[in-house]
Structure 1
Amino acid sequence: MGRSWYRRGVGYWLRRVVFSGSVLLTMALMFGLLLGVFGSTVDGLSGVWPLVLWIAMGALCVGAAIWGWTYSRRQVRAKLAEPSSPEATWKQHKAGQRQVGTGLSSPWRALVLLALPFMAPLFAWVLGMLCAATFVRELPSEVGARRAMAARS
């Protein structure tokens, strides 16, 4: 967890803001890219269909972002009520690092490419989740570590 979390000084908040901001900026750029892909796909249609599809995509994205926000807030609330111990948090962190880089098999990659114009709601859901998990005063891992420190003293 580092050493600055219990003092919560300038360095702590600076690291937290920079990390959160870079993740949110990256996801927002990917979301914009996906909306651009959707737009290039839809704008080739004639008549009223592009407007209808843009309205539907907008509604799906807003709904997905709200759903992601509420889903993540419930998870954060549950983790704050019963925070894990520092040892359990470390094990979860290490297990998550091993799973990075597993990748998708070739058939899944093709499916993702075909679904690319319609993935904006998925990224809106992830953005909602990230915002809800990022904009909390205290992280669940910090609560667990504070309780463990209080129990040891």
Structure 2
Amino acid sequence: MASRASSEAPAPGFSVPIPALPKLGRTWYRRGALYWLCRARTTVFLVLVMAMFCFFALSLYAGVRDLLPSTARVVWDGVQVAASVVTLVWGWVTQRRGHREALLDPPTPEQTRQAKRDHDRRVPGRIALGRGLVVLAAPVMPAFAAYIVGWLAAWTTVREYPSEVGARRWLQEHTSGT
């Protein structure tokens, strides 16, 4: 029988292995260079997603904007700028409040894995639904994109994810014998 990998072996003084979290693996425990590379990879990916989404939203909005009379365009553009600023802040605040609440009752590693599986299972249906709704939302797509950008920017700039806090608490509970 092959020996266990060092990452699967319990840490010195611990009787249980360090749980692996989705996207972070076991790097969350030591928060070394590999952990920060995982976080940087996620951030770069999300910045690219946000840029593509904003480009799509603005292109869709430009198509709707061209249908408006020239005087209405100026007014509608001003409304979109104001709405986008408000929704950007709203997205940021919504994420930070949700993050703060999640830190109060963080998920265990098993709950984190289950939430990831549930999320992955729901995504195809949400994509299909989103395709239909995006046509209806075309006139307000910049504000919607600003909300998403605010939410994702707040999510990527947190010091620690709730799943990490939950895994640390789970590890402490299971190593102290409770």
- SS in structure 2 of the partner of residue 123 of structure 1: helix
Residue of structure 2 in register with 1:130 after alignment: 152
Cα deviation, residue 109, structure 1: 4.4
Q: Aligned in 2, Cα 1:8/1:109: closer, same or farther, shift over 3 Å?
A: closer
Q: Aligned in 2, Cα 1:112/1:145: closer, same or farther, shift over 3 Å?
A: same
- Of Structure 1 and Structure 2, the greater helix share is in 1
Contact kept, 8 Å, 2:60 with 2:141, in 1: the verdict is no
Contact kept, 8 Å, 1:35 with 1:117, in 2: the verdict is no
Q: CA RMSD in A?
A: 1.9
Q: Please, which runs of 5 or more residues in structure 2 have no aligned partner?
A: 1-20
Cα deviation, residue 87, structure 1: 1.4
- Alignment partner for residue 64 of structure 1, among 72, 87, 91? 87
Runs (4+) of structure 1 moved beyond 6 Å?
none
Matched, 1:83 2:79: no
TM-score, L = length of structure 2: 0.76
TM-score, L = length of structure 1: 0.87
Farther-moved stretch of structure 1 (85-94 vs 71-80): 85-94
How many aligned residue pairs are there? 151
Greater relative contact order (CA < 8 Å, ≥ 6 in sequence) = 1
Q: Please, which runs of 5 or more residues in structure 1 have no aligned partner?
A: none
- SS in structure 2 of the partner of residue 104 of structure 1: helix
Identity percentage of aligned residues: 37
Matched, 1:31 2:54: yes
Q: Provide the rounded CA distance (Å) in 2 between the counterparts of 1:98 and 1:61.
A: 31
Matched, 1:19 2:42: yes
Contact kept, 8 Å, 1:34 with 1:117, in 2: the verdict is no
Contact kept, 8 Å, 2:94 with 2:151, in 1: the verdict is yes
Q: Which has the larger radius of gyration?
A: 2
Q: Provide the rounded CA distance (Å) in 2 between the counterparts of 1:99 and 1:43.
A: 35
Residue of structure 2 in register with 1:73 after alignment: 96
Q: Provide the rounded CA distance (Å) in 1 between the counterparts of 2:112 and 2:165.
A: 11
